[in-house]
Chain A
């Protein structure tokens, strides 16, 4: 496995507040990586820095050998990093189908992910294709947001807090699509507060606290105690 996405010494700010302190991460081709951590650990800022929305103040991001640090968001998307943003952020003026199609706005050439394939992955999106995107349930909206990101045919899919505010059964339904997404060759980074879900879906887990990575390893290698310590920053008695 070769490194697809290499993050080195990444420092970024959330407003005036420094949210990342020299984060190092490697995502290999075909890998699924989970980043867990409490609120305010810097997970979302990391996602925003990777997609060009948050300002990077130091460090580098390299995608397939190309330095993409601080490129504008549209340029990062066209190089192959797509994001499912926290809170889904569907476009209220667009129908479900239009929300999916807008994901392919900057795409040129052939794509594995077409409207048909995304609708096959989440059949409800075909049934509700003419509804306004924001008229759907939270779980269905999350499916639209994932489909919309896939429509750009990304090499790296970033998912920020997919399970936030959703019922466990809905979360399970959404993550059931992941094997197919992986099979398409897309590498994935999920940011999760739901540790159990993160451990199930990922090949490799990083735990963040206060803008730093405090623990890394394969799900099987990490003890509950180690995760607890890394997550809350307290020694497990």
Chain B
């Protein structure tokens, strides 16, 4: 009984990790760019939602609708004016630039919002739960998980059902030949990073309503996201969801044994999966 409850809580937590990871997975899948600032961009998204709620008095769920286009534009500009300049055969420059970006965002947030921890308040919904007989689930965790599934589903539809998705895949396969089709890879990349930051904003909504955040917690979110992407298999979005769930469940199980083991168990699960399946659970055939 307790085990089922623990696993259910872990599953839902996995949804949050999958949301952290989906944007990272998308960007890596299309342009082989590892964005070390992804965690900090999620935190930036949380502060943006916080600012919108403070200024307009809107509920966080509505504020995210205003924050998302701003984050899309930020992603577009970031890719166009910074990241496209360093993408190339050498993988080191983009790593260094995104690492620097991470430091810049953290310090920017620190001077703008101080080191005090903040939280997004969603109101009564935070305390509501669904009694399913076997287990009782919080409404917010269920929404988080449902959002993760919806985001992964939507990204997959975009990838496999639209002309833009076709261009994403073609550019990822062979950027030079894609240009012979009239595709401009740099615009494709800008679009991808824009979409990744919209997903990051959705992740920020649930991160900010679930617990306190401050400018320094981005890198740890990046680590969970990374682990989820790698467990799932690089470039596979459903794999990323599965990866998030593996970490979430491992953390929940670890915490059930001893609360101090929560974080460690997630990392151990990551190592375990890598030992058994070095390319992740759902690797892409042509990588």
A residues contacting B by CB (< 8 A) are 51-53, 72-74, 77-78, 82-83, 85, 89, 91-94, 98, 101-103, 105-107, 148, 152
Q: How far is the CB of B281 from chain A (nearest CB, A)?
A: 19
Q: How far is the CB of A216 from chain B (nearest CB, A)?
A: 27
B: interface residue count bin: 10 to 19
Binding stretch for chain A, among B138-146, B173-181, B192-200, B266-274:
B173-181
Choose one: A52, A72, A93, A148; the contact of B181 (CB below 8 Å).
Answer: A148
Q: How far is the CB of A178 from chain B (nearest CB, A)?
A: 20
| Inter-chain contacts of B183 with A (CB < 8 A) | 74, 102, 105-106
Q: How far is the CB of B219 from chain A (nearest CB, A)?
A: 32
| Inter-chain contacts of A77 with B (CB < 8 A) | 179-182
Decide if B286 touches A51 in the complex (CB within 8 Å). Answer: no
Decide if B180 touches A102 in the complex (CB within 8 Å). Answer: no
Q: How far is the CB of A30 from chain B (nearest CB, A)?
A: 23
Decide if A74 touches B166 in the complex (CB within 8 Å). Answer: no
| Inter-chain contacts of A103 with B (CB < 8 A) | 181
Decide if B176 touches A102 in the complex (CB within 8 Å). Answer: no
Decide if A101 touches B166 in the complex (CB within 8 Å). Answer: yes
Complex Cα distance, B13 from A87, in Å, reads 47
The reply on B170 being an interface residue by CB < 8 A is yes
| Inter-chain contacts of B169 with A (CB < 8 A) | 91, 93-94, 98
| Inter-chain contacts of B178 with A (CB < 8 A) | 91, 102
Q: How far is the CB of B237 from chain A (nearest CB, A)?
A: 13
Decide if A102 touches B181 in the complex (CB within 8 Å). Answer: yes
Decide if B286 touches A93 in the complex (CB within 8 Å). Answer: yes
Choose one: A72, A89, A91, A105; the contact of B163 (CB below 8 Å).
Answer: A105
Decide if A94 touches B182 in the complex (CB within 8 Å). Answer: no
| Inter-chain contacts of B216 with A (CB < 8 A) | none
The reply on B48 being an interface residue by CB < 8 A is no
| Inter-chain contacts of B173 with A (CB < 8 A) | 91-94
Given contacts A91-B169, A93-B170, 12 further A-B contacts (CB under 8 A): A72-B179, A77-B181, A82-B180, A91-B174, A91-B177, A93-B172, A98-B166, A101-B163, A102-B181, A103-B181, A105-B163, A105-B182
Smallest Cβ-Cβ distance to B187: which chain A residue: A74
Complex Cα distance, B286 from A78, in Å, reads 30
Q: Which of A83, A89, A93, A101 has the most CB of B within 10 A?
A: A93
Smallest Cβ-Cβ distance to A88: which chain B residue: B177
The reply on B245 being an interface residue by CB < 8 A is no
The reply on B277 being an interface residue by CB < 8 A is no
| Inter-chain contacts of A107 with B (CB < 8 A) | 182
Provide the B139-168 mask, 1 if CB < 8 A to any CB of A, else 0. Answer: 000000000000000000000000100110
Smallest Cβ-Cβ distance to B177: which chain A residue: A89
The reply on B184 being an interface residue by CB < 8 A is yes
Q: How far is the CB of A28 from chain B (nearest CB, A)?
A: 24
Decide if B182 touches A152 in the complex (CB within 8 Å). Answer: yes
Q: How far is the CB of B166 from chain A (nearest CB, A)?
A: 5
Known A-B contacts A91-B174, A92-B173; the reply to A83 vs B166 at CB < 8 A is no
| Inter-chain contacts of A98 with B (CB < 8 A) | 166, 169
Q: How far is the CB of A12 from chain B (nearest CB, A)?
A: 16
Decide if B166 touches A92 in the complex (CB within 8 Å). Answer: no
Decide if A102 touches B286 in the complex (CB within 8 Å). Answer: no
| Inter-chain contacts of A52 with B (CB < 8 A) | 179
| Inter-chain contacts of A85 with B (CB < 8 A) | 177, 180
Decide if B184 touches A74 in the complex (CB within 8 Å). Answer: yes
| Inter-chain contacts of A72 with B (CB < 8 A) | 179, 184
Smallest Cβ-Cβ distance to B183: which chain A residue: A105
Q: How far is the CB of A130 from chain B (nearest CB, A)?
A: 12
Decide if A102 touches B179 in the complex (CB within 8 Å). Answer: no
Known A-B contacts A91-B173, A93-B173; the reply to A73 vs B167 at CB < 8 A is no
Q: How far is the CB of B68 from chain A (nearest CB, A)?
A: 26
Smallest Cβ-Cβ distance to B182: which chain A residue: A106
When A and B form their complex, which 8 residue pairs have the shortest distance between CB atoms, in order from nearest?
Answer: A106-B182, A73-B179, A93-B169, A77-B182, A89-B177, A91-B173, A91-B170, A74-B182
Q: How far is the CB of B70 from chain A (nearest CB, A)?
A: 29
Decide if B177 touches A105 in the complex (CB within 8 Å). Answer: no
Decide if A78 touches B166 in the complex (CB within 8 Å). Answer: no
Q: How far is the CB of B84 from chain A (nearest CB, A)?
A: 14
Complex Cα distance, B174 from A221, in Å, reads 42
Q: Which of A73, A78, A102, A148 has the most CB of B within 10 A?
A: A102
Q: Which of A85, A91, A94, A103 has the most CB of B within 10 A?
A: A91
Chain B residues 92 to 126 lying within 8 A of chain A, measured CB to CB, are: none
Decide if B180 touches A105 in the complex (CB within 8 Å). Answer: no
